[in-house]
Amino acid sequence: MKKKAVGSRHSAFRFILSAILYALSAILLFSGCQKQDRLFKKERNLMHTFVTITVVSNSEKEAEKAIDAGFDEIKRLEGLLNYFSPESELSAINRAAGKSPVKVSPSTLDAIRKALYISGITGGAFDPAIGPVIKLWKFSEPDTEHVIPSKDVIANALKVIDYKKIKINEAASEIYLEAEGMELDLGGIAKGYAADKAIDVIKAKGIKAALVAIAGDIRGYGLKPDGEAWRVGVQNPRPKYDKEPPSLKKGGEGESPDEILTSLYLADKAISTSGDYERFFTKEGKRYHHIIDPRTGYPSDSKLISVSVIAPHGYVSDGISTGIFVLGAQKGIALLEFMGLDGIMVDSDMKVYLTRGLKGKVEIPAGFR
Ligand code: AMP
Ligand code: MG
CATH of the domain at 278: 3.10.520.10
With respect to residue 304, please indicate whether it lies within any of the assigned structural domains.
yes
Q: Report pLDDT for 248.
A: 42
User: Between 30 and 286, where is the model more confident?
Assistant: 286
Q: Which ligand lies nearest the alpha carbon of 290? A: 1
Looking at every residue in the chain, the average pLDDT score rounds to: 89
List, for residues 39-56, the tens digit of each pLDDT value.
Answer: 999 999 999 999 999 999
Q: How large is the average pLDDT for residues 266-273?
A: 95
Which residues have any ligand 1 atom within 6 Å of their CB? 126-128, 130, 134, 139, 185, 187-188, 274, 278-279, 290-292, 294, 318, 321-322, 326
Q: How far apart are CA 343 and CA 345, in angstroms?
A: 7
Q: Report pLDDT for 2.
A: 40
- Spacing, Cα 187 to ligand 2 middle (Å): 7
Q: Report pLDDT for 258.
A: 78
Q: Report pLDDT for 316.
A: 98
C-alpha distances out from residue 123 to 120, 205, 297, 313, 330, Å = 5, 38, 16, 20, 15
For 285-315, b/e burial (b = at least 16 CB within 10 A) is eeebbbbbbbeebebbebebbbbbbbbebbb
With respect to residue 364, please indicate whether it lies within any of the assigned structural domains.
no
Roughly what angle, to the nearest 10 degrees, separates helices 314-327 and 190-204? 160
With respect to residue 193, please indicate whether it lies within any of the assigned structural domains.
no
With respect to residue 105, please indicate whether it lies within any of the assigned structural domains.
yes
- Spacing, Cα 279 to ligand 1 middle (Å): 10
Q: Report pLDDT for 17.
A: 52
User: Between 21 and 90, where is the model more confident?
Assistant: 90
Does the pLDDT of residue 33 top 60, yes or no?
no
C-alpha distances out from residue 154 to 131, 180, 276, 293, 333, Å = 12, 16, 20, 12, 30
Q: Report pLDDT for 240.
A: 76
Asked if residue 234 and residue 170 are part of one domain, the reply reads: no
3-state secondary structure (DSSP) of residue 88: coil
Domain that holds residue 127: 84-177
Lowest-pLDDT choice from 241-245, 334-338, 359-363: 241-245
- Spacing, Cα 322 to ligand 2 middle (Å): 4
Does the pLDDT of residue 302 top 50, yes or no?
yes
- Spacing, Cα 342 to ligand 1 middle (Å): 20
Does the pLDDT of residue 194 top 70, yes or no?
yes
Q: Report pLDDT for 366.
A: 82
With respect to residue 279, please indicate whether it lies within any of the assigned structural domains.
yes
Does the pLDDT of residue 189 top 70, yes or no?
yes
Amino acid found at 208: K
Best of 118, 292, 295 for a ligand 1 pocket test (most atoms within 8 Å of beta carbon)? 292
Q: How large is the average pLDDT for residues 314-328?
A: 98
| Residue 1 binned pLDDT confidence (cut-offs 50, 70, 90) | very low
Nearest CA to ligand 1 atom 15: 291
With respect to residue 13, please indicate whether it lies within any of the assigned structural domains.
yes
**Of 149, 177, 205, which residue sits at a domain end?**
177
Q: How large is the average pLDDT for residues 294-304?
A: 97
Q: Report pLDDT for 14.
A: 58
8 Å CB contact between 177 and 168: no
Best of 130, 249, 298, 327 for a ligand 1 pocket test (most atoms within 8 Å of beta carbon)? 130
List, for residues 95-154, the tens digit of each pLDDT value.
Answer: 999 999 999 999 999 999 999 999 999 999 999 999 999 999 998 888 888 899 999 999
Q: How far apart are CA 237 and CA 351, in angstroms?
A: 12
With respect to residue 65, please indicate whether it lies within any of the assigned structural domains.
no
Does the pLDDT of residue 206 top 80, yes or no?
yes
With respect to residue 167, please indicate whether it lies within any of the assigned structural domains.
yes
Q: How large is the average pLDDT for residues 173-199?
A: 98
List, for residues 67-83, the tens digit of each pLDDT value.
Answer: 999 999 999 999 999 99
- Spacing, Cα 223 to ligand 1 middle (Å): 31
- Spacing, Cα 169 to ligand 2 middle (Å): 25
Does the pLDDT of residue 3 top 90, yes or no?
no
Q: How large is the average pLDDT for residues 348-367?
A: 92
- What is the pTM (predicted TM-score) of this model? 0.88
Q: How many domains, the chain? A: 3
Asked if residue 244 and residue 352 are part of one domain, the reply reads: yes
Asked if residue 101 and residue 21 are part of one domain, the reply reads: no
117: CATH: 1.10.3980.10
Q: How far apart are CA 118 and CA 190, in angstroms?
A: 12
- Measured from the Cα of 215, ligand 1's closest atom is 2
Q: Report pLDDT for 344.
A: 97
Q: How far apart are CA 353 and CA 359, in angstroms?
A: 9
List, for residues 213-263, the tens digit of each pLDDT value.
Answer: 999 999 999 999 999 999 999 999 998 765 544 444 444 444 555 789 999
Q: How far apart are CA 39 and CA 58, in angstroms?
A: 9
CB atoms within 10 A of CB 258: 14
For 215-226, b/e burial (b = at least 16 CB within 10 A) is bbbbbbbbbbee
Asked if residue 234 and residue 173 are part of one domain, the reply reads: no
Q: Report pLDDT for 34.
A: 63
Asked if residue 255 and residue 338 are part of one domain, the reply reads: yes
Q: How far apart are CA 248 and CA 4, in angstroms?
A: 78
Angle ∠(209,211,214) on CA atoms, nearest 5: 160
Q: Report pLDDT for 159.
A: 97
Asked if residue 347 and residue 245 are part of one domain, the reply reads: yes
